[in-house]
Amino acid sequence: MIDEQQLNKLFPSFEKELVSNMAAKADIREIPAGQLLIKTGQNIRSTMLITKGLVKIYREDEEGNEFFIYYLQPGQACALSMICATKRETSQIMARAMTDAEVVTIPLQYMDQWMSEYKTWYYFVLESYRSRFEELLITVDHIAFRNMDERLLFYLEKQQDSLKTHRFPISITEIAADLNSSREVISRLLKKLADKGHIRLDKNFLEILNLDFKAVD
Amino acid sequence: MIDEQQLNKLFPSFEKELVSNMAAKADIREIPAGQLLIKTGQNIRSTMLITKGLVKIYREDEEGNEFFIYYLQPGQACALSMICATKRETSQIMARAMTDAEVVTIPLQYMDQWMSEYKTWYYFVLESYRSRFEELLITVDHIAFRNMDERLLFYLEKQQDSLKTHRFPISITEIAADLNSSREVISRLLKKLADKGHIRLDKNFLEILNLDFKAVD
DNA sequence: CCGGCGCCGTGACTAATATCACGGTTTATT
DNA sequence: AATAAACCGTGATATTAGTCACGGCGCCGG
């Protein structure tokens, strides 16, 4: 059973009736850390709202290359799942729980119905599109215009912001996959950053000391 | 004055009342070929619907590098202008008229008001987001996973589809700018394609003969 | 205690792309 | 005709990133 109080806290903009309706109509799905929520090519029949945990959204091509797009946090929706759901298309992305996670899944018909019934719902949907679109545009910028060293910095900042900590567990191999680069390349770039005192690496952890590059060559 | 009949034809999904309302509240803007509609950093206060001509949407970074994103055709809206307008933010993109063009500009307040008043309007807005989002995702794929030769092919296909012709005027310099590559690189790649019989180049024109690569190395 | 495994660092090499330098062609303008 | 401007093609070279080959370290299960 869905906890209305929790929903209220995570989605404070939603009107009361919408929350009740959601609690009645939607399902809760628990996802253990590491498991996939959505797979490329999968049919999507529901919209997902994150209520717990951290979900990584990434792209994967035919050869298995990955490319990190963004994280979803509690209180956010998978904009892609709305797109795919309403168009009855297959997913173009992968979603993986990075920690134990919990999502509310809303069947397709309600997603659309609530759009006209609840103003707060469609504002929420629109805002999800907007913010993800902008994020995606910035991502395009980076891969189009920047070299790997700058992209790596941007990636680290994003991690810091999403994980809300300066020190987090991550493997170099994973960073390389996220940026669709190779372990060796990232290893060398990180070493440079460490040499300059911007980060510190210990086993399995990366600590960000200072990413302020304004005064650095 | 806005021609309601023309609006009806271009936006067949819109209900009659919406079209009348639009004709009354919106402005028409004529843009000569080559001119900018939107510039990065500009404040956006209205949503734009294309009614005539072809509009190129692209990204530009601080150093003036360009990156083509997609074309907008009559009957389509600039999803970005909706985003920027409703959030009162500055534009993150450039929009340039490739041919003489005409756009309907809708003041911010109506964009939002109509969302709740006219179902057909919000379906249209949602659909604009959706399709642009997917297009952007595919673009990300290409720059993340593909080499320039494949990206060039994809670009040519896109041109062919948008311009609805196999033969169109374009300079190699412009293709290079669109792909954020360099003229020399594109020149060499096009030569390869020409040698294999896939395209033909004459001065200022590019003719696509056959982009079917299934049986080619 | 040993072997396997996953992760890591590094030097050498290769591939892709960008840049430089140059000269050529066409077109418009004077 | 002379000149300028905007294209274009091509060889040489430089830069960036990806790949290969290797060895090291730490951890775990038998």
Tens digits of per-residue pLDDT, A13-22? 999 999 999 9
A146 touches strand C (CB under 7 A): no
Q: How confident is the model at residue B213 (pLDDT cuts 50, 70, 90)?
A: low
DSSP codes joined into one string, A5-56: HHHHHH-TTS-HHHHHHHHHH-EEEEE-TT-EEE-TT-B--EEEEEEES-EE
Instruction: Look at A143 and B144 and tell me if their CB atoms are within 8 Å.
Output: yes
The values of phi and psi at residue A45, to 5°, are -125, 10
Instruction: Look at A140 and B136 and tell me if their CB atoms are within 8 Å.
Output: yes
Structure tokens at B111: 């964009």
| Amino acid letter, residue A66 | E
pLDDT score recorded for residue A210: 83
Query: Which of A59, A69, A133 would you mutate first to test chain B, the one with the most B CBs within 10 A?
Result: A133
Contacts of B22 (CB under 8 A, 6+ apart): B2, B7, B14, B104, B106, B110
Running DSSP on this structure, what letter comes out for residue B169? E
pLDDT score recorded for residue A213: 61
Helices in chain A by DSSP H: which ranges?
A: 4-10, 16-25, 79-87, 108-117, 119-145, 148-163, 172-178, 183-195
pLDDT at B86 over 70: no
Q: How confident is the model at residue A149 (pLDDT cuts 50, 70, 90)?
A: very high
pLDDT score recorded for residue A13: 97
Closest Cβ–Cβ partner in A61, A119, A134 for B116: A119
B182 touches strand D (CB under 7 A): no
Using a cut of 0.85, tell me whether the model's pTM lies above it.
Answer: yes
pLDDT at A85 over 70: no
Closest Cβ–Cβ partner in A115, A122, A139 for B140: A139
In chain A, residues with a C-beta closer than 8 Å to the C-beta of B87 are: 130
| Amino acid letter, residue B86 | T
Extended strands (E) in B39-176: 46-52, 55-60, 66-72, 94-97, 101-107, 167-169
**Pick from A76-85, B53-62, B72-81, B112-121: least confident:** A76-85
Between these two residues, B76 and B1, which has the higher pLDDT value? B76
pLDDT digits (tens, 9 = 90+) for A20-40: 999 999 999 999 999 999 988
How far CA A208 is from CA of A168, A194, A199, B33, in Å, comes to 9, 9, 5, 49
Query: Which of B44, B47, B57, B59 would you mutate first to test chain A, the one with the most A CBs within 10 A?
Result: B59
Closest Cβ–Cβ partner in B86, B92, B133 for A83: B133
Rounded to an integer, the average pLDDT of B139-147 is 96
pLDDT at B215 over 70: no
Q: Is A132 on the interface with B (CB under 8 A)?
A: yes
Q: How confident is the model at residue A217 (pLDDT cuts 50, 70, 90)?
A: very low
**Residue B184, helix vs strand vs coil:** helix
In chain A, residues with a C-beta closer than 8 Å to the C-beta of B69 are: 140
pLDDT at B214 over 70: no
CA angle A86, A89, A91 (to 5 degrees): 105
CA distance A145 to A65: 21
Instruction: Order across the sheet with B36-38: list the strands.
Output: B36-38, B94-97, B55-60, B66-72
Closest Cβ–Cβ partner in B67, B119, B125 for A144: B67
Question: Which chain C positions have some atom within 7 A of a protein CB?
Answer: 7-12, 16-21, 26-27
**Pick from A181-185, A190-194, B133-137: least confident:** B133-137
CA distance A137 to B133: 10
Q: Is A115 on the interface with B (CB under 8 A)?
A: yes
pLDDT score recorded for residue A214: 47
pLDDT digits (tens, 9 = 90+) for B10-67: 999 999 999 999 999 999 999 999 999 998 888 888 899 999 999 999 999 888 899 9
**Pick from A79-88, B65-74, B95-104: least confident:** A79-88
CA distance B84 to B107: 12
**Pick from A86-90, A146-150, B79-83: least confident:** A86-90
Between these two residues, A85 and A142, which has the higher pLDDT value? A142
pLDDT score recorded for residue B216: 42
pLDDT at B141 over 70: yes
CB-neighbour burial class of residue A106 (10 A; exposed 0-12, middle 13-18, buried 19+)? buried
The values of phi and psi at residue A126, to 5°, are -60, -45
B146 to chain A: closest CA residue: A61
Q: How confident is the model at residue B119 (pLDDT cuts 50, 70, 90)?
A: confident
Instruction: Order across the sheet with A27-31: list the strands.
Output: A27-31, A101-107, A46-52
pLDDT digits (tens, 9 = 90+) for A61-71: 888 899 999 99
CA distance A45 to B29: 41
**Does the CA dihedral B182-B183-B189-B190 come out positive or negative?**
positive
pLDDT score recorded for residue A49: 96
Q: Is A182 on the interface with B (CB under 8 A)?
A: no
Instruction: Look at A79 and B133 and tell me if their CB atoms are within 8 Å.
Output: yes
Q: Is B86 on the interface with A (CB under 8 A)?
A: yes
pLDDT at A107 over 50: yes
Between these two residues, A204 and B180, which has the higher pLDDT value? B180
**Residue B68, helix vs strand vs coil:** strand
| Amino acid letter, residue A190 | L
In chain B, residues with a C-beta closer than 8 Å to the C-beta of A87 are: 130
In chain A, residues with a C-beta closer than 8 Å to the C-beta of B124 are: none
The values of phi and psi at residue B19, to 5°, are -60, -45
Instruction: Look at B67 and A140 and tell me if their CB atoms are within 8 Å.
Output: yes
Contacts of B161 (CB under 8 A, 6+ apart): none
How far CA A81 is from CA of A78, A90, A117, B83, in Å, comes to 5, 9, 20, 19
Q: Which nucleotide is nearest to B206 (CA to C1')?
A: D8
CA distance A60 to A67: 6
pLDDT at A88 over 80: no
pLDDT score recorded for residue A216: 41
In chain B, residues with a C-beta closer than 8 Å to the C-beta of A144 are: 59, 65, 67, 143, 180
In chain A, residues with a C-beta closer than 8 Å to the C-beta of B79 are: 133
CA distance A22 to B87: 27
pLDDT at A215 over 60: no
What is the least distance, in Å, from the CA of A143 to any CA of chain B?
7
Q: What is the average pLDDT value for chain B, to the nearest integer?
A: 90
